[in-house]
Amino acid sequence: MTDAPTPALAIEHVVKRFDRPVPLGARVAAWFLAAEPRVVHAVSDVSLVVGPREVVGLVGESGCGKSTLGRVAAGVYAPTSGTVRLASGPVMEHGRKRSPLVQMIHQDPFASLDPRMRVAETVAEGPVLHGIVARREADGYVAAMLERVGLDPGLRRRYPHQFSGGQRQRVAIARALALRPEVLVLDEPVASLDVSIQAQVLNLFLDLRRDLGLAGLFISHDLGVVRHVADRVAIMYLGRIVELGTAAALYARPAHPYTRALFASVPKLGAGRGRFSPIVGEIPSALAPPPGCHFHPRCPHAGPRCRVEAPPLLENEPGHADACHLDHGGVG
């Protein structure tokens, strides 16, 4: 499925840990007291490939590491170990982002646009800096980009606060497109928008994807949104991908107990009243992830093997894999 052509984005064995800086006093105190671990294990050995023109959805709850993985993929964070490659080469070199060919779109267009820059300056800054367009031609370039995302180019002298949330997200998309990326990393791009505006932005994304042949990593907690835009879907839990498959297969036959519980938790339109089957407990701290399968403390099927051995991601059917002992050799 994704082996043949060079992938647009290849995330290979990426680990991302955050070490909290420990103040001197605390370090001295640690000599006398039992020191607790202060390392956040945000992403633990994740490999994920996005093919040319493919959109992969990355789904998970707060703290599962999906945004961290997205930022590593976009070259915002350097991975602790592992690599991220675009078709044209690695995203980072010598600890610095190498090319503007992967661009990120953030959740909150109120925070991601500089309030003191006119949107024309915001959109032009990147392409001028990277020599994609000459400064004297930037104005026309910006106008074309705004038109591309469905905004009136006549508004380009305005400031972000003069736009609505949906329009600001269009500006953020225009800013990303202005760098002519091959890959977009979209981190919850519609989560802060009203449903009617969300539909407009999703339609825009689908149009751009078709017209420009973009590949994308689409990060969201919303299973309905991901089903609508993604070709393949990865489910993440506490730093690991627990299930990966074509959207059709994964939604029709969710395999991992966490995926199944997640699907059961989502309120559905018209499914009737009072049908909740919540997962027990809460997501454990990434400061001290449980041993073995990260989901075992909450899993109704967990056995002795799950407490010691982390299950690898293995195929159940062509194009659909999960990381669960239950499906691969038993939990006993």
Partner 1 sequence: MSAVLEVKDLRTSFGAVRAVDGVSFAVGRGQVLGLVGESGSGKSVTGFSIMGLVDPPGRVVGGSVWLEGEDITPLLTRGGEAMRRVRGARVAMVFQDPLMTLNPVLRVGTQMAAAVRAHAPVSRAEAWARAEAALATVGIPSPRQRLSAYPFQLSGGMRQRVAIATALLHGPAAIIADEPTTALDVSIQAQILAEVRRLADETGTAFVWITHDLAVVSSLADEVCVMYAGRVVERGPADAVIGGPRHHYTAALVASVPGGHAPGSRLPQVAQGAALQDQGCPFRPRCPAADAACAGPVPEVAFGAGHLALCHHPVGT
Q: Is 12 in the site for partner 1 (CB under 8 A)?
A: no
Q: In what order do the strands lie in the sheet with 55-59?
A: 102-105, 183-187, 215-220, 55-59, 232-237, 240-246, 320-322, 314-317
**Nearest to residue 111, comparing CAs of 192, 186, 218?**
192
Of 25, 95, 115, 270, which one interacts with partner 1 (CB under 8 A)? 270
d(CA 12, CA 110): 33
Shortest distance, position 44 Cβ to partner 1, whole Å? 20
Name the token pair of 170. Answer: 């269009």
Minimum CB distance to partner 1, residue 110 (Å): 12
Identify the residue among 72, 229, 249, 331 touching partner 1 (CB under 8 A): 229
Please report how close the Cβ of residue 100 comes to partner 1 at its closest, in angstroms: 27
Alpha-carbon torsion, ordered 292, 294, 295, 296, to 10 deg: 30
DSSP letter string over 124-157? HHHHHHTTSS-GGGHHHHHHHHHHHTT--GGGTT
Interactions with partner 1, residue window 189-218 (CB under 8 A): 194-196, 198-200, 202-203, 206
Rounded Cα gap, residues 278 and 265, in angstroms: 6
Query: For residues 57 and 100, which CB has a smaller minimum distance to partner 1 in the complex?
Result: 57
Compute the distance between CA of residue 219 and CA of residue 315 in angstroms, rounded to an integer: 23
Residue among 10 and 107 whose Cβ is closer to partner 1: 107
d(CA 69, CA 14): 8
If the CB atoms of residues 40 and 138 are measured against partner 1, the closer one turns out to be 40
Three-state SS for 166?
helix
Q: Which of 114, 137, 282, 317 binds partner 1 (CB under 8 A)?
A: 282
> Scanning residues 58 to 117, which ones bind partner 1 (CB under 8 A)?
61-62
Smallest gap from residue 209 Cβ to partner 1 (A): 9
Contact 207, 183 (CB under 8 A): no
- Binders of partner 1: how many residues, by CB under 8 A? 43
- Report in angstroms how near the CB of residue 294 gets to partner 1 at its nearest: 14
Of residues 27 and 268, the one with the C-beta less far from partner 1: 268
In the complex, which residues of this chain contact partner 1 (CB under 8 A)?
A: 61-62, 165, 194-196, 198-200, 202-203, 206, 221-225, 227-230, 247-248, 261-262, 264-279, 282-283
